[in-house]
Structure 1
Amino acid sequence: MPTSRPRQAARERIEDSFGQVWPVHLTGFTDLLVRLRAEFGGDLDLMLVLAVIADRTRPGDWTPELLTYNQLTHRSDTGSPQRPINLQSVAEYSGIPRETVRRKVRMLEQRGWVMRHEDGSLAVGPAAATDLGEATAHSITYLAALLTALGPLHRG
């Protein structure tokens, strides 16, 4: 897929100032992974399976500019229907063996973080936003550090 002009320009700005951005990314990303590993009981594959399901089932008419963090994590309705994804698709995209994905999905279902529809497709469950609030806060901290580091590049 070709890179858009704004994305290419941003990439070039980051490459030109990599010495400034990379340490912030490395420190923040490492801290985020350590914290997420703890949140998921040491099981990063469990986290990855949930992340793939969340990413790949996001509605096609997603409008990020209309949702704040609070609106997104505390919605009483399901909004637009999630796109379907199955175990095989999660396994193929993530590179995690299908049987491992099946076991991880079962664990996520038991926690209420993933739901399985009648047709076998998977969706993120409502308990995920509530139960993983601290993990989301860690992600926001990481993104805030990146935004701060990238801010001067964006204005420049």
Structure 2
Amino acid sequence: MRFFYRWGGHLSATLIRIRARFDGDLDQYVLYLTFLLAELAETMNAEAGAVRPARGMNALSVSEITGIPRESARRKLLLLAANGYLHRDEEGLFTLGDRYGLDAFFSELKPLFWDAVRLPR
């Protein structure tokens, strides 16, 4: 029980930090996470020898993936692009930006990993 209490404390502190990073909007983080995971999948495929050209996603696709209504997703994707988290190409497709990459993502989640929350024996 103490483990879950401790982990829950780390989870809430992590979500508070992430929420602040995304202007108090965790939906923006969920949208951004969709692109981050797509980038991670592309990296893993490339390491396995399955190189594919990077593809962007439109607001409708991201809306369907996340369950966030399309118009809300579109507005938030534009905000993420304006803040450098995403890029938007001339066709209106979004791809991962340079502002907050995999290293920063995992660093921010580090308090949730086993070594950070395990109880001493």
| TM-score of the two chains, using structure 2 as the length reference | 0.73
Q: Are the equivalent residues in 2 in contact too, given 1:21–1:149 (CA < 8 A)?
A: yes
Partners of 2:66 and 2:45 lie apart in 1 by 24
Does 1:48 find its partner at 2:1? no
Please tell me the residue identity of whatever aligns with 2:37. D
The residue type equivalent to 1:91 in the other structure is: S
Shift of 1:23: 2.2
Contact 1:54/1:124 (<8 A) preserved? yes
Specify the alignment match of 2:85 in structure 1.
113
Deviation at 1:151, TM superposition (A): 9.4
Quote the residue 1:142 is aligned against: 112
Q: Tell me which amino acid in the other structure corresponds to 2:18.
A: L
Q: Structure 2, unaligned stretches of length 5 or more?
A: none
SS in 2 for 1:115: strand
Percentage identity across paired residues of the two chains: 26
Q: Offset at 1:84?
A: 3.3
Q: Which is greater in Rg? A: 1
The offset of 1:56, in angstroms, is 2.9
State the TM-score, normalized to the length of structure 1: 0.59
The number of aligned residues is 115
